Structure formats: C-alpha cells, structure tokens
C-alpha cells in the first residue's frame, strides 16, 4: 500500500543526459506538500412545542445516541505535512484545532459560554528513526493518542490524549507494542490558583496490539497507570490543609479488546475494562487521571459495538451495547446500561433512510445521594443524502425527527442560590446539552431539524 506516499509520480530522471542540473528542479517540485483534513457537524433544529432543539441524554449517563440528537456545531480543522523522507525514514507534522459553538447565531463568539476553540493536536512523528526498532514511530507533542470510541453515541472509552511522548508500533514478533507518557492537568483545582501550578496528572500507557488470535480476529491489551505528580511545595500545601498527599489521585485502567474483521461484511469490537481510584471520574473514565474530579473506588465496563451489512449494498447497521458499573467509596457511583442500533437503508448511491433506536438506563449506587433510577429511550428517523453507501460515508445532509421518552419528570428546579423557578437541573434528562426546551414535568419530547456531517482527509 502506498497510501502515505505523496510523491507517487516521482519519476526517474534522465540524469545521464543532463547531469546534476536536474536535481534542483526536482527538489523544488518535491517541496512540502501540506494536506488538509477535518471533521464537522452542524445544523438547525427545533423542539416540538416551541424553542430550539433539545438534546436528550439520560441524567447521569456519560453519552447519548447522537443521530438527530446533537445540538451544537462542532468542527476540527487539521493541517499536516510530510516534512522529511529519505529511504524508509519519514517525519510528519500534524496539527488540529477544534471549535464548538452552540449553534444559535450567525456571529457566535468562541469566547461565549459553552463555545470554545481548542488546540487539540500539534505533534511530530518520526518513523524508522531508531535503528534497532525498524517500523517503529517515535513521536512527541500533543495529540489524540490511539483513541477508541463508539461512533453511534460519541462515547470514548479509551483515550489518554494530551501532550506526550512515546514510541508506537514496535514490532515484537507477535503484534506491536506502543509506549506513551501523556499528561492531563487538573484545571478546576482551586487549591493551586496559579495556572502554572496545577496538579499535573501523568499517565503511562502501554499497549500490545494486533495480536492475532483467530481468523480475522485480533486482540489489544493495554494498561494505563495514572498519578497526580506533586511538587514538594504542593505536598506541603496539602499537609498544611490536613490532606495526606498520598491520597492524591492515582489509579490504573486495564483494557482487553477483541476486534473481529469479516463480520457480516463489517466488524465487531468487544472490550472489557477494569479501573481503579484516581483514574476514574464521575462521568467519562477513559484511562487518564484528571485530578480532583476523580474518586476512590473501582469500575467494570464491558462493551460491544460494530458495523454489519444485513443486505449487501442495501442495508447496513451500526450497533452498540454497554454495561458499566462504577462503585465509589462515597456512594456516588452508578450502573449504566446502554444499547442502540442504527440501521440504514440505501435507496440509491446518494439517498438513504436511517433509523436510530437508543436506550440508556442509569441506576445510582445510592438513591440517597444520587436520585432514583432513570432511563431514556430515543428513536430517530432521518432521510439522508450522502456521497455514497455505508455507515462511514460522508458528507451527509440529513433531515431528522427524534422522539424521546423517559421516566418521570424531565428536569427539576435547580434551586441554586440566585436561581429563579425557571432554572433547570438534571432530573431524568441531563441539562448542558444545549437548550432545555421540554417542560419540567414532560415525560417525552419531539425534535426535528437538519444536520450535516462531514469528514475528509487522507
């Protein structure tokens, strides 16, 4: 495969005739050839009954099924280039900036609440730069590091991204080994008010991937150890506040994942994870420490997701099943059951109809501290126009209608000091996913609108 070779047409030059004079134009032609890649989603939606689109996520759930259920504009724009190539040795640069806006206006400042512009990637990889490790890639800088997600509900279950350094794809005979050190510093810590003096959370990530175990199937094993890395003065400060510095966050996450290819025309991924203490957070626990939000306790998670073709070229389906049990010493944990399917029927190469059915059920560890059980079922019907057939083909323009049903009241009165009776808190539907335009006591809701989704790049 010559995928990464950007000079495929580089031709042998007739050096014999023109001698070294050929070299200058040839090098000029092989100048840096930047490439552009990115992702975006955006659109418009409304809530039946009035108001802008409400997005339905079960309170306490780390994710929501996304088709016809995303209320923001999100985009990533990346630029990269191969900056050096000699024999098998290459150096590549890659960068990525992400944008989020609440999709409410023409002119939306990225500094407004909820909007953001973030530098997500800025790194260099050097492939075949270490003589003893042919095929391995040395890298440093901040990057998305080998993230694992479920596309249907935008749930990242293994993600230690951040500034870091590492060696990837070391050939160990059977499979490949990757080592990395990444960082995630706490940003909500008011004990260390100076931005430069926050707790630095360090994660060491070791993965052994591409281990063949059965025809078309392979295994990936990984261990992440994370620890808040305290300076002497930070330890002193904590001691002065009667906090034992040894209680600072530390924990580990183990992951076993099986990937099956040739699975009904698509693939299946089955992952089992166990994590402890400091590497866990109340919401998304992905394998890195993020300091003060973490809890002591443990977590089990098992999930299965994939893509299959039910009728070749006519009907495919994304699916996901998740069970997660977080057991925290302070009883703030919970169990999460989730399942979703997204069959898509392709009428033509361009037009398709998608149906997404998603279900989330949350069972708090302790009703006293976290409210009762709650669940959300959502179903979305979308008519789509895409650049081809298949669950991953984009761009897509879709018109959607979403119906969601949940247990009990949607919201409660927040009750925070200074709030009015109209301020909403999560009861069965989580607030904070854009507008909250169903009524406090509504038990179901309907939204409709249009959305685009696009990704591109090589």
Partner 1 sequence: MKRAPLALLTSGLLITLSGCAAMSSPTTSTPSVATGQQALSRAADCCDSLASLPYQSLQNRQSLTLTFDANTPAHHFSDGKSFFHAFALPDSQQPVVLQISSPIEQEQVVAPTLLLLDDNFQPVRRLGSDQLTYQGPNGFRDARLGGAVSVMPGPDAAYIVLYTSDSDRAGSTSYENPEKTYARVRGLAEPALPDPVADHAATGRVTLEISPISENGNLLAPLMGRQSPTPLNASQSARNTTSTAPAAAVSAQQATAASSSRQREATRTQQSELDYRRMIRAALKAGDIELAMQLADRAESAGQTGTRAWLAKQLRTSTP
Biggest distance spanned by C-alpha atoms of the chain = 86
Q: Point out which span in 19-27, 280-288, 324-332, 408-416 binds partner 1 (CB under 8 A).
A: 19-27
Q: Point out which span in 22-30, 224-232, 318-326, 356-364 binds partner 1 (CB under 8 A).
A: 22-30
Nearer to partner 1, 28 or 416 (CB): 28
Concatenated DSSP letters of 205-257:
EEEEEEEEEETTEEEEEEEEEEEEE--HHHHHHHHHTT--GGGS-EEEEEEEE
What x/- string results for residues 49 through 88 when contact with partner 1 is judged by CB under 8 A?
A: xx-------------------------x-x----------
Nearer to partner 1, 314 or 366 (CB): 314
Q: Point out which span in 28-36, 110-118, 194-202, 370-378 binds partner 1 (CB under 8 A).
A: 28-36
Q: Point out which span in 52-60, 256-264, 363-371, 406-414 binds partner 1 (CB under 8 A).
A: 256-264
Nearer to partner 1, 78 or 278 (CB): 78
Rule CB under 8 A: say whether 48 interacts with partner 1: yes
For the bound state, the minimum distance from the C-beta of residue 42 to partner 1, rounded and expressed in Å, comes to 17
Interface residue with partner 1, options 31, 195, 368, 416 (CB under 8 A): 31
Concatenated DSSP letters of 290-357:
-GGG--SEEEEEEEEEEEEEEETTTEEEEEEEEEEEEEETTS--EEEEEEEEEEEEESSSSEEEEEEE
Nearer to partner 1, 72 or 220 (CB): 220
Interface residue with partner 1, options 171, 392, 419, 422 (CB under 8 A): 392
Query: What residues numbered 81-110 form the site for partner 1, per CB under 8 A?
Result: 96
Spatial distance between the Cα atoms of 193 and 441, rounded to a whole number of angstroms: 40
How many Cα neighbours within 13 Å face the side chain of 107?
A: 0
Q: How far is CA 12 from CA 1, 6, 16, 23, 85, in A?
A: 20, 16, 11, 11, 17
| Cβ-Cβ contacts under 8 Å for 377 (sequence gap 6 or more) | 357, 358, 359, 404, 405, 406
Spatial distance between the Cα atoms of 75 and 116, rounded to a whole number of angstroms: 11
For the bound state, the minimum distance from the C-beta of residue 406 to partner 1, rounded and expressed in Å, comes to 14
What x/- string results for residues 402 through 421 when contact with partner 1 is judged by CB under 8 A?
A: --------------------
Closest CA to 128 of 91, 95, 165: 91
Interface residue with partner 1, options 381, 397, 413, 452 (CB under 8 A): 381
What single DSSP character describes residue 3?
A: T
Interface residue with partner 1, options 112, 347, 366, 369 (CB under 8 A): 347
Nearer to partner 1, 374 or 447 (CB): 447
Query: What residues numbered 131-190 form the site for partner 1, per CB under 8 A?
Result: 143-144, 146-149, 158, 161
| Cβ-Cβ contacts under 8 Å for 244 (sequence gap 6 or more) | 238
- What does residue 48 show for φ and ψ, rounded to 5 degrees? -60, 135
Contact 137/169 with Cβ under 8 angstroms?
yes
Q: Point out which span in 48-56, 131-139, 223-231, 283-291 binds partner 1 (CB under 8 A).
A: 48-56
Interface residue with partner 1, options 133, 223, 446, 452 (CB under 8 A): 446
- What does residue 60 show for φ and ψ, rounded to 5 degrees? 90, -10
Nearer to partner 1, 26 or 117 (CB): 26
Query: What residues numbered 282-321 form the site for partner 1, per CB under 8 A?
Result: 313-314
Interface residue with partner 1, options 42, 46, 102, 276 (CB under 8 A): 46
Interface residue with partner 1, options 69, 209, 374, 386 (CB under 8 A): 209
Q: Write down the residue that tokens 């950007």 correspond to.
A: 6
Spatial distance between the Cα atoms of 63 and 81, rounded to a whole number of angstroms: 34
| Cβ-Cβ contacts under 8 Å for 231 (sequence gap 6 or more) | 197
Interface residue with partner 1, options 210, 235, 304, 335 (CB under 8 A): 210
Contact 141/122 with Cβ under 8 angstroms?
yes
């Amino acid at each position: 495969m010559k995928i990464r070779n950007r000079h495929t047409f580089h031709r042998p030059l007739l050096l014999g005739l023109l001698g070294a004079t050929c070299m200058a134009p040839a090098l000029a032609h092989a100048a840096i050839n930047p490439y552009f890649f990115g992702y975006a989603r955006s659109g418009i939606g409304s809530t039946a009954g009035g108001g802008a689109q409400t997005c339905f996520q079960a309170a306490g759930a780390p994710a929501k099924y996304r088709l016809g259920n995303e209320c923001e504009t999100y985009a990533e724009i990346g630029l990269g280039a191969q900056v050096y190539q000699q024999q098998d040795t290459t150096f590549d640069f890659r960068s990525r900036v992400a944008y989020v806006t609440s999709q409410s206006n023409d002119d939306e400042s990225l500094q407004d609440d909820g909007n953001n512009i973030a530098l997500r990637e800025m790194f260099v990889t050097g492939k075949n730069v270490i003589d003893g490790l042919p095929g391995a890639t040395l890298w440093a800088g901040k990057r998305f590091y080998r993230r694992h997600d479920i596309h249907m509900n935008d749930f990242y279950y293994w993600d230690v991204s951040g500034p870091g350094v590492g060696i990837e794809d070391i050939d160990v005979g059977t499979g490949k080994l990757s080592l990395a050190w990444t960082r995630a510093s706490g940003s909500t810590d008011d004990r260390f008010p100076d931005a430069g003096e926050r707790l630095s959370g360090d994660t060491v990530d070791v993965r052994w991937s591409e281990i063949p175990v059965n025809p078309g199937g392979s295994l990936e094993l990984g261990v992440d150890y994370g620890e808040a890395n305290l300076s002497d003065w930070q330890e002193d400060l904590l001691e002065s506040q009667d906090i034992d510095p040894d209680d600072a966050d530390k924990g580990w996450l183990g992951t076993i994942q099986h990937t099956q290819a040739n699975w009904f025309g698509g693939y299946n991924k089955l992952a089992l994870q166990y994590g402890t203490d400091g590497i866990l957070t109340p919401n998304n626990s992905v394998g890195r420490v993020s300091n003060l939000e973490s809890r002591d306790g443990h977590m089990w998670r098992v999930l299965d997701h994939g893509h299959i073709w039910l009728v070749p070229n006519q009907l495919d389906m994304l699916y996901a099943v998740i069970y997660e049990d977080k057991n925290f010493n302070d009883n703030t944990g919970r169990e999460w059951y989730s399942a979703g399917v997204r069959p898509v029927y392709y009428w033509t190469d361009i037009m398709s109809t998608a149906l997404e059915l998603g279900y989330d059920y949350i069972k708090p560890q302790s009703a006293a501290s976290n409210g009762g059980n709650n669940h959300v079922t959502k179903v979305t019907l979308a008519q789509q126009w895409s650049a081809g057939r298949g669950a991953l083909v984009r761009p897509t323009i879709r018109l959607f209608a979403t119906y969601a049903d949940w247990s009990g009241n949607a919201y409660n009165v927040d009750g925070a000091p200074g709030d009015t009776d109209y301020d909403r808190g999560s009861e069965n539907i989580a607030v904070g996913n854009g507008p909250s335009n169903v009524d406090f006591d509504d038990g179901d809701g309907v939204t409709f609108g249009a959305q685009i989704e696009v990704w591109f790049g090589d």
